[in-house]
């Protein structure tokens, strides 16, 4: 086998299936790209990816994903020659060549991934918007499994971590409501999927160019969140400039993008945003029409930025804050805010 490929096209095809890679080798060859039958596949027991391979149908091999990706990203050649020699996959450019160890015997077992049943269905345009909003409300704690998932139901998608909950109304036409873990659905977002299909234990998504991503789905019962969104209270409006303060607070909020939360406090006449982490902290105050008690809540800064831009009005009660607009509903628990550090009340800075 010897084939000439455009480096960028080869790399793009591999990057599409990266979500199915597991560097921990959770199952045999789950850290590898699997080339067979003109396709490239990855599978980590929770996500299965497959797309057309630029290497054609002759190659059957498992190749470690990390070094191959790193090599292709750093090579300057526009065109490469790919061939097999002495049991290794050779990547040859102008004046340079690499040999990557490969296994010709495929051990990766994708038999657990059922083929889609029935026709592929178009995803409503609002589906990705809904997932982007609600997935930020999932719990990072695996102790309560259902709270680490997004609930895909017949008329909405929703998520909760027991302190906050979000629901986005969208009819995606799913036949059997299910739970899908947040990390899996994040790839559905990033890849811009446009179609879906179902099978007993998997939900399958397809991109415009035919790449398929299958997510393991779970049939555990999800709690009814409907009553959580029902509340009365005072209507308030967040300042339009709040997203700027949130983006600065986010720098200090956490060291991993998966666990970023900032504290938002309501005090008479102002809203205060604070991000804190091992590197330090950041606090910013903004003027706001509010004359109630001092209250605070934690929220992902990207989520609140999206909410403020599209749904600036909120309802505040003694223990909850609720936001509703169009298809979207959000609610979070409020805590009583105690006295702030003295520096927050002196002339160290003024509200803007």
Q: pLDDT for 209-268, tens place per residue? A: 899 999 999 998 899 999 999 989 999 999 999 999 999 998 887 655 456 889 999 999
pLDDT digits (tens, 9 = 90+) for 78-124: 999 999 999 999 999 999 999 999 999 999 999 999 999 888 999 99
Q: What's the confidence (pLDDT) of residue 350?
A: 53
Q: State mean pLDDT over 142-153.
A: 88
Helix axes 301-310 and 242-253, enclosed angle (nearest 10)? 170
Cβ proximity of 16 and 90 under 8 Å: no
- What percent of the chain has a predicted confidence (pLDDT) above 70? 93
pLDDT reading at 45 higher than 70: yes
Give residue 340's pLDDT band: very low, low, confident or very high (50, 70, 90).
very low
What is the DSSP code string of 311-336?
A: --EEEE-SSEEEEEETTEEEEEE-EE
Give residue 349's pLDDT band: very low, low, confident or very high (50, 70, 90).
very low
pLDDT digits (tens, 9 = 90+) for 288-304: 999 989 999 999 999 99
Q: What's the confidence (pLDDT) of residue 337?
A: 58
Q: What's the confidence (pLDDT) of residue 125?
A: 85
Structural domains of the chain ordered from first start: 2-103 (3.10.150.10), 117-225 (3.10.150.10), 231-344 (3.10.150.10)
Give residue 311's pLDDT band: very low, low, confident or very high (50, 70, 90).
confident
- The pair of three-digit structure tokens given for residue 101, joined into one six-digit string: 């160890």
pLDDT reading at 8 higher than 90: yes
Query: Which segment of 109-123, 199-213, 332-346 scores lowest on mean pLDDT?
Result: 332-346
Q: What's the confidence (pLDDT) of residue 343?
A: 46
Q: State mean pLDDT over 32-55.
A: 95
- The pair of three-digit structure tokens given for residue 155, joined into one six-digit string: 């008329």
Q: What's the confidence (pLDDT) of residue 254?
A: 65
In whole angstroms, give the CA distance from residue 141 to residue 125.
Answer: 31
Number of neighbouring beta carbons within 10 Å of residue 266: 23
Using CA atoms, how far residue 303 sits from 165, 282, 323, in Å, is 12, 18, 12
Give residue 18's pLDDT band: very low, low, confident or very high (50, 70, 90).
very high
Q: What's the confidence (pLDDT) of residue 141?
A: 74
State the average pLDDT for the chain: 90
Q: What's the confidence (pLDDT) of residue 258?
A: 56
Residues 6+ apart with CB under 8 A from 106: 29, 34, 36, 60, 61, 62
pLDDT reading at 26 higher than 90: no
pLDDT reading at 202 higher than 90: yes
Query: Which segment of 2-16, 155-169, 324-338 scores lowest on mean pLDDT?
Result: 324-338
Give the residues across from 179 on adjacent strands. 151, 218
- What percent of the chain has a predicted confidence (pLDDT) above 90? 71
pLDDT reading at 345 higher than 60: no
- Burial zone of 13 (CB within 10 Å; 0-12 exposed, 13-18 middle, 19+ buried): buried
Q: Identify the residue with better confidence: 345 or 275.
A: 275
Hey, which bits of 246-319 come out as E strands?
A: 262-267, 270-277, 280-287, 295-299, 313-316
């Amino acid at each position: 086998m010897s084939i000439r490929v455009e480096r960028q096209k080869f790399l793009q095809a591999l990057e599409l299936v990266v979500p199915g890679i597991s560097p921990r080798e959770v199952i045999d060859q789950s850290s590898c790209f699997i080339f067979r039958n003109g396709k490239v596949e990855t599978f980590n027991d929770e996500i299965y990816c497959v797309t057309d391979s630029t290497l054609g149908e002759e190659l059957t091999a498992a190749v470690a994903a990390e070094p191959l990706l790193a090599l292709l990203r750093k090579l300057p050649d526009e065109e490469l020659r790919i061939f097999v020699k002495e049991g290794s996959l050779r990547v040859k450019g102008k004046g340079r060549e690499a040999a990557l160890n490969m296994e010709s015997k495929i051990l990766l077992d994708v038999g657990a991934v059922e083929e889609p049943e029935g026709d592929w269905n178009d995803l409503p345009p609002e589906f990705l918007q809904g997932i982007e909003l609600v997935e930020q409300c999932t719990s990072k704690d695996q102790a309560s499994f259902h709270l680490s998932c997004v609930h895909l139901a017949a008329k909405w998608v929703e998520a909760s971590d027991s302190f906050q909950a979000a629901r986005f109304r969208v009819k995606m036409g799913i036949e059997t409501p299910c739970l899908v873990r947040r990390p899996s659905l994040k790839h559905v977002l990033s890849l811009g999927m446009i179609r879906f299909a179902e099978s007993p234990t998997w939900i399958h998504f397809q991109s415009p160019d035919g790449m398929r991503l299958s997510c393991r789905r779970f049939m555990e019962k999800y709690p009814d969140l409907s009553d959580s969104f029902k509340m009365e209270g005072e209507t308030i409006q967040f300042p339009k400039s709040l997203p700027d303060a949130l983006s600065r607070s986010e720098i200090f909020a956490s060291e991993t993008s998966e666990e970023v939360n900032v504290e938002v406090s309501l005090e008479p006449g102002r809203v205060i945003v604070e991000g804190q982490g091992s590197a330090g902290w950041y606090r910013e105050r903004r003027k706001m029409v509010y004359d109630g008690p001092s209250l605070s809540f934690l929220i992902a800064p990207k989520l609140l930025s999206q909410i403020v831009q599209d749904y600036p009005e909120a309802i505040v009660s003694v223990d909850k804050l609720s936001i509703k607009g169009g298809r979207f509903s959000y609610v979070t628990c409020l805590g009583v805010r105690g006295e702030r550090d003295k520096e927050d009340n002196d002339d160290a800075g003024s509200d803007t």
